[in-house]
Structure 1
Amino acid sequence: MKNKENFFNHIRSGNMEGIADLLATDPKLLEINDQRGSTPLLLAAYYGHEGLVRFLLEKGAQVDAKDGSGSTALMGVCFKGYLGIAEQLINAGANVNQKNAMGATCLIYAVTFNRQDMAELLLKNGAEVAIKDAKGKTALDHAKDQGMESLIKLLETY
């Protein structure tokens, strides 16, 4: 479908005008998935398009929609480090404790990729330190494995 391909190209490049035009003619584009199962919101977040994320949320994008591996937009920004987008997604009701197919949570991603500011944001918004991934490891376990002293201290306070 040409509209679908164009729509995802506009999402990746952050072309708000092209996205708005296509959504005006076909609002269901907001709910489609690409070949990897990614939603428009997930891709906009992954590519760091803060204004586009806001626009898609205002249009009704599902904040906790999952891609083919069960990951959400919030998970993607947790390892990319896009704090402003993470705040938007959380304010829109994103589940900070959602697990993907590997059992990883947003907090586990933030810790694994040494994103202290992201971990703090998640913890302030109810992220649970005790959740284990598919390998039986918590965010604290990951921080200890990598010798991340400041994250270890932070996680041990929760």
Structure 2
Amino acid sequence: MEEILDLIKDGEVEALRQLFEKDPALVDKKTDQGISLLQYAAYCRGISTIQLIREFKKDLNLFEATSLGEIEMTGKLIDEDKSLINSHSGDGFTPLGLASFFGYFGLAKFLLDKGANPNLASNNQFKVAPIHSACAISNYKIVELLIKNGANVNAKQIQGVTPLHSAAHNGETEIVKLLLENGAEVNAKMETGQTAMAMAIDKNFGAITDLLRENGGQ
């Protein structure tokens, strides 16, 4: 399995093709984390390897569909089993969490309209909620969408990181402003004691430092 994962990570399409042609059943293998090769390829952002795996794989599961941003297939699978909307993938992430992580605004909206819980965090050690993922990739539109649908702007993931911490760390002034306008605790502390303002100062983000200070940041 490690060989296959390395080939996917390195984008070795022809070597993968030879393996799948020799043993087509390999395409349905799962990683130690319980995710499919297709979902792993999506994590690796490997367009060519995704296309190759799709040649050999007939059916998608919900987490593969959401990882690829396929709204129609996602809808079909949820309609067949509505309990899937708030389920977790083998590595612990929800469909909405994956849509947020990959930056699929249309899919995220579709899932929310279908009843996805915007505050359901991953059930792994990271405890990542969809809003954490959206802030991590600096996607303003998805952060805004999640907030409008009831996302907790003060949700904490591993090490006590809040969305505001992520936005400040990434230098995303507009997302910081959006979070503050919607009730983000300006002086929330990570387990290390760091506030968002401390992170902004450390990264020399002057505009964010000023914005946080204006809102009571320390």
Q: Count the aligned residue pairs.
A: 157
Contact 1:77–1:86 (Cα < 8 Å) also in 2: yes
Question: Who wins on radius of gyration, i.e. which is larger?
Answer: 2
Distance in 2, matches of 1:101 and 1:48, equals 21
Q: Is there any run of 5+ residues in structure 2 with no aligned partner, and where?
A: 1-35, 37-58
Q: 1:49 is matched with which residue: 73, 97, 104? A: 104
Q: 2:133 is matched with which residue: 76, 96, 99? A: 76
Alpha-carbon deviations, 1:43-74, whole Å to 9, x = none? 00111111111111111111111112111111
The runs of 4+ residues in structure 1 deviating greater than 3 Å are none
Distance in 1, matches of 2:138 and 2:203, equals 18
Q: Shift of residue 5 of structure 1?
A: 5.9
| Code of the aligned partner of 1:109 | S
Give SS of 2:90's match: coil
Q: Shift of residue 36 of structure 1?
A: 2.1
What's 1:155 paired with?
212
Q: 2:83 is matched with which residue: 9, 19, 28? A: 28
Bigger RCO (CA 8 Å, 6+ sep): 1
Matched, 1:138 2:187: no
Q: Shift of residue 42 of structure 1?
A: 0.4
Give SS of 2:159's match: coil
Alpha-carbon deviations, 1:14-52, whole Å to 9, x = none? 111111111111111112111221100000011111111
Distance in 2, matches of 1:35 and 1:9, equals 11
TM-score by structure 2 length? 0.69
TM-score by structure 1 length? 0.94
What's 1:38 paired with?
93
Contact 2:62–2:77 (Cα < 8 Å) also in 1: yes
What's 1:18 paired with?
73
Contact 2:153–2:184 (Cα < 8 Å) also in 1: yes
Contact 1:79–1:115 (Cα < 8 Å) also in 2: no
What's 2:162 paired with?
105
Q: Percent identity over the alignment?
A: 34
What's 2:55 paired with?
none
Pairing of 1:48-67 with structure 2 (within 5 A): 48-67=103-122
Distance in 1, matches of 2:202 and 2:139, equals 24
Q: Shift of residue 10 of structure 1?
A: 0.7
Q: Shift of residue 117 of structure 1?
A: 1.1
